[in-house]
Amino acid sequence: MITLQMSLLLLGLLLLLAMAGYYAWLARKSRPRQAEPAEPRLGEPADSRIEPHLNDHPLNGDTFASSPAPEKKPALDPLIDAVAPIALEAPVSGEAVLAALPSTRRVGSKPYAIEGFSVQDQRWESPVAGQYYSQLQAGVQLANRSGALNDIEFSEFVMKTQNFCDAINGTPDLPAMRSEVSRARELDQFASSHDAQLVLMVQARRAAWSPSYIQQTAARLGFVMGSMAGRLVIPASTSGLPPVVSLNFDTLTALADDPTQSALRQITLGLDVAQVDRNEKPFDRLREVADALAREMDGMVTDDQGAALSPEGMTVIAAELEQLYDLLAQHELASGSPLARRLFS
């Protein structure tokens, strides 16, 4: 009897150990993949190694913090702006222009700008101190992704420009409202029908991913920290321009107190077609990084609805993009150009 009891007790202990081992294995299997520890530098103690996290870099833009200043904002252009020339009795100083500028640089949802023709440099520019301007012009953008310039916004443009002219003793030559609002609608219709923002997703097949694991894997493919938590980007070849490809995941997960315990099962890759120069070959880059991420993280590439994408489907998208690039260029709105970036923003 004692031998039987001991046997049952031993069998029960073995069963408990087996179950504990199984659940430990199951917990390890379901735990989000983690970033690999960084290799210590020569002479650096192992304890000083830091696990990469999403807040390791300042979130102050979509390029490195030490990058040069962005390119100068593009000049007003009649193609996408309603422009009002301002006649002056005599050249006016940059200081006077700056003092008279309206407090806001927007009219409704549209950018508003004042430019001057520099006596010294013989070119149009945004007013700066130390310069004199023989001519000025005011302009408001006709359309952007918020829609077309409407009657109310045009009236605000007229009032803002007239108030500015009164302050500098200038005379504006304001365009006709009906004509400009009509142009705005036409431009908005064109932009709306040719605005492409591509989205691909990489979804986990089995194990989920931690934010640090995503960041580390993406960094090997050329991604750097973006403008907010949960965003990484592949920068353009020219500093200050919009990123070629963006990678996004849940912001709240990225900001978790312990990101190693956060579990993510999908990431989103984006390409804003009109914002990126076609010479960057952005769609090729998008496909390459999507395939590489899926391969390295044991995931699959899908569309934004979760449907798997075939190579043939990607080829069709690429061909359609080339047609779109050609059409935008024919309308003087080549992708990545200053005008295209302003219109499709």
Residue 148 domain-assigned (yes or no):
yes
| Mean pLDDT, residues 36-53 taken together | 44
The whole-chain average pLDDT of the chain stands at 85
Question: Tell me, what's the pLDDT at 57?
Answer: 34
113 pLDDT higher than 80: yes
Rg of the Cα atoms in the chain: 29
Whether 86 and 172 share a structural domain: yes
User: Is 156 found in the same domain as 126?
Assistant: yes
- Please, which residues have CB within 8 angstroms of residue 207's CB and are 6 or more apart in sequence? 29, 30, 31, 32, 33, 298
Q: Please indicate, yes or no, if residue 333 is contained in any of the structural domains.
A: yes
- Between 204 and 17, name the one with better pLDDT: 204
Mean local confidence (pLDDT), 75-86: 96
Does residue 157 register a pLDDT over 80? yes
Same domain, 244 and 317: yes
- Residues 215, 329, single domain; the answer is yes
Q: Do 325 and 202 share a structural domain?
A: yes
CATH number assigned to the domain comprising residue 285? 3.30.1400.10
Structural domain count of the chain: 2
Q: What is the mean pLDDT of residues 156-175?
A: 97
CATH number for the domain including 159? Answer: 3.30.1400
pLDDT at residue 8, as a whole number: 63
Is 52 contained in some domain?
Answer: no
pTM of the predicted structure, to 2 decimals: 0.78
> Of 22-26, 74-78, 199-203, which range is least confident?
22-26
The domain in which residue 98 lies consists of: 81-191
Is residue 7 predicted with pLDDT exceeding 80? no
Residue 251 pLDDT: 82
User: Are 295 and 164 part of one and the same domain?
Assistant: no
pLDDT in tens, 242-254: 999 999 998 877 7
Q: Are residues 210 and 290 in the same domain?
A: yes
In this predicted structure, the answer to whether residue 31 has a pLDDT above a threshold of 80 is: no
pLDDT value of position 28: 54
Q: Outline where DSSP puts E strands in the chain.
A: 81-88, 92-93, 106-107, 110-118, 124-125, 132-141, 143-144, 147-148, 170-172, 197-204, 224-225, 231-234, 245-248, 266-272, 299-302
Q: In this predicted structure, what is the pLDDT of residue 62?
A: 52
Residue at a domain's end among 165, 191, 217 = 191
In a domain, 274, yes or no: yes
- What is the pLDDT at residue 184? 98
Bigger pLDDT: 146 vs 73:
146
